[in-house]
Amino acid sequence: MAKRLVPLLNRVLVEKIISPSKTNAGILLPEKSTKLNSGKVVAVDHGVRDKEGKLIPVTVKEGDTVLLPDYGGTEVKLGDKDY
């Protein structure tokens, strides 16, 4: 049985992108240069409605690459993947 997380309202589900610790040529990269928190959007809801009932859509779509704040969001583990 496949499990699927579906975000609600204006939330998105982002899979973290793990930066490589060395280049294709074998050069080791310092930890600071690989610490950029970024991820790929894997699920989005339609958005949220304002007081008049108009839909305010989410500005990102599935497949977009986004930057993540250090202490923002909620970490979720589903199977062997971290979101």
pLDDT at 1: 36
Integer Cα distance of 44 and 48 in angstroms: 12
Distance from CA of residue 2 to its chain's centroid? 20
C-alpha Rg value of the chain to the nearest Å = 16
Any idea where the domains of the chain sit in the sequence? Answer: 12-82
Which pTM was predicted?
A: 0.71
Q: Choose among 45, 47, 42, 49: nearest CA to 66.
A: 42
12-82: CATH architecture: Roll (2.30)
pLDDT in tens, 12-46: 898 888 776 666 676 776 666 545 688 899 989 88
Q: Is the pLDDT higher at 31 or at 62? A: 62
